[in-house]
Amino acid sequence: MSEEVSAEILTTHILDLAAEGKRLDGRAPDEYRPVTVEPGFVVTADGSALVRIGDTAVVAGIKLEPGKPFADTPNAGVLTTNAELIPLSNAIFEPGPPQPGAIEVSRVVDRAIRAAETIDLTRLCVTPGEKSWVCYVDVHVLDHSGNLIDAAALAAVSALAHATVPALRFEVAEADYPLEVVHFPIECTFVRLGDTIVVDPTFDEERAAQGRLTVATDEAGRVVAMQKGLVGAFSPDDVKGVVRRAFQHGERLRALARGGSA
């Protein structure tokens, strides 16, 4: 049986289950998979975290280097986020330039971190207009079993929360100091399966999905970013319900990002 046909059969099965409020892995519609956060996973990085959400595994690493601030923001450091969906993580990815899916993950993670003002970028400025820190957030997907946006965002924020500014190495200051994280945005993703909207979709649920919606919330009770993806639609009431649920899951996941471990 071809892969295409078996995927079609699985999709039908997932939708049938969802109509009864059930999921393939036995979870309830509003149940997240087990999540673990392991900060400091890569010692060569200035900050890092390995995040597992069920069978999905993502590692984020932070590198800080002295550079030049942008001309239009002379008093601020620079933050860039990049996500790589490498062929190692799933048979669907091929080597080559980043595809729209990877670009979307990078940009949605970047948007939440930026809009929440996770880091006070003005504190990364060394000499206005001349010298500032450039903070690179690189996310590598190791195992893609669904919900990459949440995993990537959680790994990125956890890595930032445990990062050190290598001031001594670059002779910018007398000693290294911790990178201060001001806000903790958490992304929470849902997909529509028929009339049911489930949290934290697996890879197969994403393939069966009739629309995906990600909502990023922070600890101050603000929604800081949203992204609807995939083919499908949500009513304004669906969106409001999803936002409420995103706040609830966000609170629990944020504790993991701050503290690490399970």
Partner 1 sequence: MGSVGAKEVPVLLSPDGLRIDGRRLDELRPMKLSVGALHNADGSAFVEWGANKVMAAVYGPREVHPRHLQQNHKAVIQCKYNMAAFSVDERKRPGLDRRSQEISKVIGEAFESVVFAEEYPRTSIDIYIEVLQANAGTRCAGLVAASLALADAGIPMVDLLPAVAVGKVAGKIALDLKKEEDNFGEADLPMALVPQSGRLVLLQMEGHMTEPELSEALDLGVQGCRAIYEKMKEALRERYAVGPVGGSS
Least distance CB 39 / partner 1 (angstroms): 26
Least distance CB 36 / partner 1 (angstroms): 29
Phi then psi for residue 218, to 5 deg, are -120, 180
Q: Is the dihedral of CA 43, 133, 259, 82 positive or negative?
A: negative
228 is a contact residue toward partner 1 (CB under 8 A): yes
Q: Which is nearer to partner 1, 35 or 64 (CB)?
A: 64
226 is a contact residue toward partner 1 (CB under 8 A): yes
Are 163 and 178 spatial neighbours (Cβ–Cβ below 8 Å)? Answer: yes
Q: Which is nearer to partner 1, 175 or 233 (CB)?
A: 233
Interface residue with partner 1 among 24, 142, 172, 223 (CB under 8 A) is 223
231 is a contact residue toward partner 1 (CB under 8 A): yes
Q: In this structure, how many other beta carbons lie within 10 angstroms of the beta carbon of residue 35?
A: 20
Instruction: Give the x/- contact pattern for partner 1 in 106-125, rule: CB under 8 A.
Output: xx---x--xxx----xx--x
Q: Which is nearer to partner 1, 36 or 80 (CB)?
A: 80
Dihedral, 11, 56, 135, 118 alpha carbons, nearest 10: 80
Specify the residue for token string 């970013």.
Answer: 225
221 is a contact residue toward partner 1 (CB under 8 A): yes
Least distance CB 25 / partner 1 (angstroms): 26
CA dist 142 and 39 (Å) reads 16
Q: Is the dihedral of CA 102, 106, 107, 112 positive or negative?
A: positive
Site for partner 1 in 171-190 (CB under 8 A): none
- The DSSP H or E segment spanning 35 is strand 35-39
Are 48 and 42 spatial neighbours (Cβ–Cβ below 8 Å)? Answer: yes
Least distance CB 257 / partner 1 (angstroms): 19
Site for partner 1 in 47-86 (CB under 8 A): 69, 72-76
Least distance CB 21 / partner 1 (angstroms): 21
Degrees (nearest 5) of the Cα angle 242, 243, 247? 115
Kindly list the residues in this chain that would bind partner 1 in the complex (CB under 8 A): 69, 72-76, 98, 100-101, 103-104, 106-107, 111, 114-116, 121-122, 125, 211, 213, 221-236, 238-240, 243-244, 247
